[in-house]
């Protein structure tokens, strides 16, 4: 019996020692569970969880004081990448610029792990890092936990349709603090336009969206136009450098008849031609929110400029109009300027037309003053023609000079009057 008692005591001591070791092991400061975490089979019809790969247990005091660097270094060791010294040095800044750092998907994942508990960075730039789908998935998982990052730039990262699906699934939740996202140059095609439509129809948090330099064509433009009809959050949308052409651009422009939030729209380099300009001119008559419009390089000629002029005569909100690199002659430029003059409620401050950059009326008036040696704002037609011929500031051919004279002397009185371009004092 004595032998049995001693054996029982030894067994109890061993069990207590084992429990003490297990308790000690559980008190480690940082445990990162990423690839080695057990895979839990989920219903494939449900949205993908944003907690799987970035599940992190941390000592809260260490993480939020001195543990940020240690956490990042541990994450780099875990995924097998070299730490980025710039990231370590700037962890406590509000703006983190990691553009062109060659992070790749694994480097991005390490950054994402470290950012789960970061409370200082509000603007994160990761342009041109070849992060692919794996990298953007890690970022969306991180944003599911981090409510401090408000602006995200992941342009030119080869995301493709898979990356667009990951991002739009996240945007569907409409729960993060993110209000600005740049996605330029990610080879998004028309199939992704429907994803963005579905995600942003109900998302009111995103205020700025950059989808420029992608591959949206007419069908994509129609989907994005439908999104703008119902969206109540976007204030800035960049669709420049796509291939919307006439039908896609028309769909986007028509949405401005009912959209009440968009203030800045970039449709440059989409080749929508005079047909798009005609619709845009009609829309400008009734739109009451748009203040910045860029339609540069869209094959607009004087007919397109005249269509825009019709809208500008009634528009009361547009402040900046950019339409450079369009085959608009001086006649088309004058049509736009004169339409603004006829609109007493116009708020246009800057118009960029082809090679002519003019603030509202002032530059053209100053130009005419430089060739008028009398300074009377009225000149005989013959003298005006000669002055335009010899001046070198704005090269004009004979046809352009003749068109200009017709504009300034429509009743053939023999005298041009350019006082119409003089800036008038604004009423109080």
Residue range 187-196, pLDDT digits in tens:
999 999 999 9
Q: CA-CA distance, 332 to 338, in Å (whole number)?
A: 10
What is d(CA 256, CA 254) in angstroms, rounded to the nearest whole number?
5
Q: Which residue has the higher pLDDT, 50 or 370?
A: 370
pLDDT at 423: 56
Tens digits of residue pLDDT in 219-268: 999 999 999 999 999 999 999 999 999 999 999 999 999 999 999 999 99
Nearest to 420 by CA among 373, 375, 374, 362: 362
Mean pLDDT of the chain: 83
Which one is predicted more confidently, 120 or 41? Answer: 120
What are 148-161's pLDDT values in tens digits?
999 999 999 999 99
State the pLDDT at residue 30: 32
Report how far apart, in Å, the C-alpha atoms of 318 and of each of 32, 174, 366 are. Answer: 52, 30, 23
Alpha-carbon distance of 87 to 97, in angstroms, equals: 8
* Residue extents of the structural domains in the chain: 50-369, 370-428
Task: Count Cβ neighbours within 10 Å for each residue of 233-264 and write b for 16 or more, e otherwise.
Answer: bbbbbbbbbbbbbbbbbbbbbbbbeebeebbb
Q: Does domain 370-428 have CATH number 1.10.238.10?
A: yes
**pLDDT for position 56:** 46
Higher pLDDT, 175 or 323: 323
The 10s digit of each residue's pLDDT in 332-348 is: 888 898 898 889 999 99
In 10 A of CB 131, how many CB atoms?
28
pTM confidence score: 0.74
Q: What is the mean pLDDT of residues 369-388?
A: 81
CA-based angle 408:411:412, to the nearest 5? 80
Instruction: Indicate the CATH number for domain 50-369.
Output: 3.80.10.10
How far is residue 219 from each of residues 24, 205, 225, 314, measured CA to CA in Å? 61, 25, 10, 31
- Quote the pLDDT of residue 424: 53
Distance CA 189, CA 156 (A): 14
Mean pLDDT computed over 298-306: 93
**Would you say 294 and 263 are in contact if contact means Cβ atoms under 8 Å apart?**
no
């Amino acid at each position: 019996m004595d032998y049995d008692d001693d054996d029982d005591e030894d067994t109890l001591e061993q069990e207590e020692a084992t429990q003490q070791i297990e308790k000690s092991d559980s008190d480690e400061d940082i445990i990162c569970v990423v690839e080695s975490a057990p895979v839990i089979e989920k219903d494939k019809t449900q949205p993908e969880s944003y907690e799987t790969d970035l599940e992190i247990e941390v000592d809260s005091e260490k993480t939020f004081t001195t543990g940020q660097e240690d956490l990042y270094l541990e994450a780099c060791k875990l995924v097998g990448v070299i730490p980025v010294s710039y990231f370590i040095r700037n962890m406590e800044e509000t703006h983190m610029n990691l553009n062109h750092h060659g992070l790749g998907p694994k480097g991005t994942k390490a950054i994402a792990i470290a950012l789960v508990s970061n409370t200082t960075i509000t603007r994160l730039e990761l342009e041109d890092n070849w992060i692919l789908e794996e990298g953007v998935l890690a970022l969306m998982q991180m944003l599911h936990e981090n409510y401090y990052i408000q602006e995200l730039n992941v342009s030119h990262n080869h995301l493709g349709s898979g990356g667009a699906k990951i991002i739009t699934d996240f945007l569907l939740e409409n729960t993060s603090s993110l209000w600005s996202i740049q996605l330029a140059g990610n080879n998004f095609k028309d199939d992704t336009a429907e994803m963005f439509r579905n995600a942003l129809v109900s998302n009111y948090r995103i205020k700025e969206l950059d989808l420029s330099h992608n591959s949206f064509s007419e069908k994509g433009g129609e989907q994005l136009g439908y999104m703008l009809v119902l969206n109540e959050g976007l204030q800035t949308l960049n669709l420049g450098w796509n291939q919307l052409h006439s039908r896609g651009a028309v769909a986007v422009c028509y949405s401005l008849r009912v959209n009440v939030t968009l203030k800045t729209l970039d449709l440059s380099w989409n080749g929508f031609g005079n047909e798009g300009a005609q619709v845009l001119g009609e829309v400008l008559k009734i739109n009451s929110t748009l203040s910045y419009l860029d339609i540069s390089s869209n094959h607009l000629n004087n007919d397109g400029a005249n269509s825009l002029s019709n809208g500008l005569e009634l528009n009361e909100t547009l402040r900046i109009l950019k339409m450079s690199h369009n085959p608009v002659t001086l006649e088309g430029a004058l049509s736009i300027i004169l339409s603004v003059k006829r609109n007493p409620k116009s708020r246009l401050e800057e118009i960029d037309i082809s090679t002519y950059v003019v603030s509202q009326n002032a530059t053209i008036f100053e130009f005419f003053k430089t060739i008028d040696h009398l300074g009377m704002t009225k000149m005989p037609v013959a003298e005006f023609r000669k002055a335009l011929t010899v001046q070198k500031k704005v090269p004009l051919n004979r046809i352009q000079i003749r068109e200009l004279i017709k504009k300034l002397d429509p009743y053939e009185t023999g005298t041009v009057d350019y006082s119409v371009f003089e800036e008038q004092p604004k009423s109080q």
